[in-house]
């Protein structure tokens, strides 16, 4: 059976009758306590279910996984849309936070490396080409992706004349979106728990013929099927604070590559940006005299 975020519970249920007694007992415990089990070590799960750790490992293997870590990851993936921020904070037991910063940094580096390894050069170059060709660019992100939309839009606006940032929703956007056409490219950010508004906007843009560059976490994301160019950031850690470093790297790469498609045009718009910033005192000016 294909492993995806909707199949795991059904897969366990369909195979329960085939399992040895101890593994059947473990399966029953997992089905009743999926949220808790998603964050347990194999040892802790065995104790909680009243079976040995070796039973837990054999169960994962019997279910078709290379080991318990892969099974646990699949379980976490299956629950991503159901876990609230409070769930994630309450369930994940961290007894010592002394080196928590190291765990977070290592997780971010792992995600960046995985993203780099799996990123399609063809998809990336095609997405950049599309951004370069379109008359207008949208960046769309809500909730945890609010900062991504703002960051991408701000930097793109330095080198492109028509950039619109949508990071909050109100009805006035309907009229704006309805006027768009195939001359628009949109970068949409969507991660669990996927905000409905970003999906709605993606559907409207698709109907209007816009090009959709989607940055999300999975091929079964509700945004994935709408994408013209799809980038998967394989976030595998469940934590109430999103891991966004790899997404920021991808944004930087898109902006950098776009800026070099037409250096003369980029210089023109950067000069315009600097002129506007200077005339309107956007940034703090140094009072130090040049030597």
Taking only the tens place, the pLDDT of each residue in 3-41 is: 444 467 878 887 887 888 899 899 989 988 888 888 788
Instruction: Look up residue 113 and give its two tokens.
Output: 């490396």
The residues facing 165 across adjacent strands are 139
Indicate whether 261 and 195 sit together in one domain.
yes
Residue 31 half-sphere exposure toward CB, CA atoms < 13 A? 16
Domain containing 21 — which CATH number? Answer: 1.10.10.10
Domain coverage including residue 21: 8-79
Indicate whether 152 and 237 sit together in one domain.
yes
User: Residue 239: pLDDT band by 50, 70, 90 thresholds?
Assistant: low
* 170 part of a folded domain: yes
> 115 to each of 212, 244, 277, how far by Cα in Å?
20, 12, 35
Which of 116, 106, 81, 27 lies closest to 238 in space, CA to CA? 81
* 207 part of a folded domain: yes
* 88 part of a folded domain: no
Domain count, the chain: 2
Indicate whether 61 and 160 sit together in one domain.
no
* 100 part of a folded domain: no
Buried b (16+ CB within 10 A) or exposed e, 162-177: ebbbbbebeeebeeeb
Give yes or no for residue 50 having a pLDDT over 90: yes
User: What's the pLDDT score for residue 168?
Assistant: 81
Taking only the tens place, the pLDDT of each residue in 108-120 is: 898 899 899 989 9
Domain containing 254 — which CATH number? Answer: 3.40.50.10490
* 91 part of a folded domain: no
CA distance 233 to 249: 11
H runs (alpha helix) in 17-171 = 21-32, 34-37, 42-49, 53-62, 68-79, 85-91, 100-118, 121-133, 146-157
User: What's the pLDDT score for residue 173?
Assistant: 82
CA distance 83 to 23: 26
* 24 part of a folded domain: yes
The residues facing 230 across adjacent strands are 214
Indicate whether 52 and 131 sit together in one domain.
no
User: What's the pLDDT score for residue 92?
Assistant: 57
Taking only the tens place, the pLDDT of each residue in 162-214 is: 999 998 877 778 788 888 889 999 999 998 878 899 999 999 999 999 999 99
| Main-chain dihedrals φ then ψ at residue 198, nearest 5 degrees | -70, -35
Indicate whether 60 and 198 sit together in one domain.
no
Indicate whether 67 and 125 sit together in one domain.
no
User: What's the pLDDT score for residue 14?
Assistant: 78
Indicate whether 73 and 116 sit together in one domain.
no
* 214 part of a folded domain: yes
* 89 part of a folded domain: no
Taking only the tens place, the pLDDT of each residue in 52-91 is: 999 999 999 999 899 998 898 888 877 766 665 555 555 5
CA distance 235 to 4: 15
- Cβ atoms of 135 and 184 within 8 Å: the answer is yes
Indicate whether 140 and 254 sit together in one domain.
yes
User: Residue 94: pLDDT band by 50, 70, 90 thresholds?
Assistant: low
């Amino acid at each position: 059976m294909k492993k995806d975020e909707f199949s795991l519970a059904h897969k366990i249920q369909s195979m329960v009758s085939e399992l040895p007694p101890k593994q059947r007992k473990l399966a029953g415990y997992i089905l009743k306590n999926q949220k808790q089990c998603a964050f347990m070590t194999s040892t802790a799960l065995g104790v909680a279910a009243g079976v040995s750790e070796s039973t837990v490992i054999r169960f994962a293997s019997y279910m078709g996984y290379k080991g318990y870590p892969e099974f646990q990851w699949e379980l976490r993936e299956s629950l991503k849309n159901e876990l609230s921020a409070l769930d994630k904070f309450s369930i994940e037991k961290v007894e010592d936070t002394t080196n928590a910063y190291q765990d977070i940094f290592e997780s971010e580096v792992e995600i960046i490396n995985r993203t780099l390894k799996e990123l399609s050069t063809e998809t990336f170059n095609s997405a950049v080409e599309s951004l370069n060709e379109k008359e207008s660019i949208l960046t769309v992100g809500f909730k945890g992706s609010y900062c991504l939309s703002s960051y991408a839009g701000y930097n793109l606006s330095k080198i492109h004349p028509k950039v619109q940032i949508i990071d909050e929703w109100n009805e006035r956007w309907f009229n704006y979106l309805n006027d768009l056409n195939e001359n628009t490219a949109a970068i949409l950010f969507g991660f669990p728990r996927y905000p409905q508004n970003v999906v709605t906007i993606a559907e409207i843009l698709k109907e209007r013929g816009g090009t959709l560059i989607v940055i999300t976490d999975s091929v079964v994301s509700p945004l994935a099927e709408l994408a013209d160019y799809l980038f998967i950031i394989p976030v595998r850690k469940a934590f109430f604070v999103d891991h966004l470093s790899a997404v920021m790297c991808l944004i930087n790469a898109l902006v950098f590559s776009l800026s070099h498609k037409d250096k003369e045009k980029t210089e023109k718009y950067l000069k315009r940006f600097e002129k506007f910033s200077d005339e309107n005192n956007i940034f703090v000016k140094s009072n130090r005299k040049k030597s």
